[in-house]
Amino acid sequence: MRTILSIILMISVSGLLASNPFKGDRAVVKSEFIYKPEEVSFPSCHASTIAQTDGGLVAAWFGGTHEKHPDVGIWVSRFEKGKWTAPVEVADGVQHSELRHPTWNPVLFDYGDELFLFYKDGPNPRDWWGQLIISPDNGKTWSRRMRLPEEIYGPIKNKPELLPGGELICPTSTEHEGWQVHMEFTSDRGKTWQRTEPINDGTEMAAIQPSILKHPGGKLQILCRSKNKQILSAWSTDNGRTWSKLEPIDLPNPNSGTDAVTLKDGRHVLVYNHIDPDEVWGDRNVLNVAVSSDGLNWQAAVLLENDPDPDGEYSYPAVIQAADGMVHITYTWNRKTIKHVVLNPAELEMKPIKNGKWPAM
């Protein structure tokens, strides 16, 4: 049995590593919490998203008693004058005086003159539906919610991409017939939609929550969370209308959300939990940043979290590159708050990932 002293030491080390894992990593420009847990009315949070607007950064997430609880709403904070504003609830799942559903997975997208916030209402991921609210002033005020058409969910977890012709491609997925990935398109800011058929059967290859990478010649790639123990990838050469078969890349996925972004210099950044699912299935106590030049071969770059406590959770990352070139990452921190980390991509030092093992950083 563990002694009281050993438990105290484990908790102390866990807190130290979780709050300051970088050990002088020069690529890390900033690491901060968007809010302190004691400053808000909701005890639990998850599934953050981040966007840059003309007025600064905006972040959103869902928060409430716990995931799936009817009181879970969508909360927003803006980065102003060097700090994050107090979180404000901008959407809830109230249907009428006697029925309220939880909300889920907000996703921000900035058109420049309007900031879109997609999210889901519903009792669970198999029965939820898509919602949209719009801000004309960089997240300060929001429209009334607008329900998306049937079978249109909007981007399910990760950000959409604006294609060269002005069409917004939304990476999405469903869970009611296995885990299936498909794409949704709108060329008129959500007034009308198109939807592809699922690109996978949902069983042999079970994937959700795709993120989109951009390659030369207009080629697109998606990276997906999966039940297949590895991150899954597919490719499109027709702006996302059709896709190759999903295939695993050489990175683990212990059934956890990821996000990725293509940088201005052509490199790709992936944020994910590098945990061997054959050893631990479902844990999320390590969070990692990897970099690739081709979307297939990845190198270790930054260890965001490395908590020896298997109950620690650092998950559901969101990542963007801002106009100044800095990379911004937000993620769930132990379901208690949202953490924001800024990286300078010019200072990233890559190390090879050999035999599936994350190297010492």
The domain spans of the chain are 27-352
pLDDT in tens, 119-174: 999 999 999 999 999 999 999 999 999 999 999 999 999 999 999 999 999 999 99
The CATH number of 27-352 is 2.120.10.10
Instruction: Determine contact, residues 130/147, Cβ cutoff 8 Å.
Output: yes
What's the pLDDT score for residue 76? 98
What's the pLDDT score for residue 20? 54
- 306: tokens are 């490395």
CA–CA gap between residue 258 and residue 47 (Å, rounded): 11
CA–CA gap between residue 257 and residue 18 (Å, rounded): 19
Given the structure tokens 């010019």, which residue do they identify? Answer: 346
CA–CA gap between residue 186 and residue 154 (Å, rounded): 10
CA–CA gap between residue 202 and residue 181 (Å, rounded): 8
CA–CA gap between residue 118 and residue 131 (Å, rounded): 6
Length of the chain counted residue by residue = 361
H-type alpha helices, 50-209 = none
- 281: tokens are 């299935």
CB-count exposure of residue 326 (10 Å: 0-12, 13-18, 19+): middle
What's the pLDDT score for residue 21? 63
Q: DSSP letter string over 88-110?
A: EEEE--EEETTEE--EEEEEEEE
Instruction: Determine contact, residues 222/262, Cβ cutoff 8 Å.
Output: no
What's the pLDDT score for residue 279? 86
- List of the chain residues with pLDDT < 70: 1-24
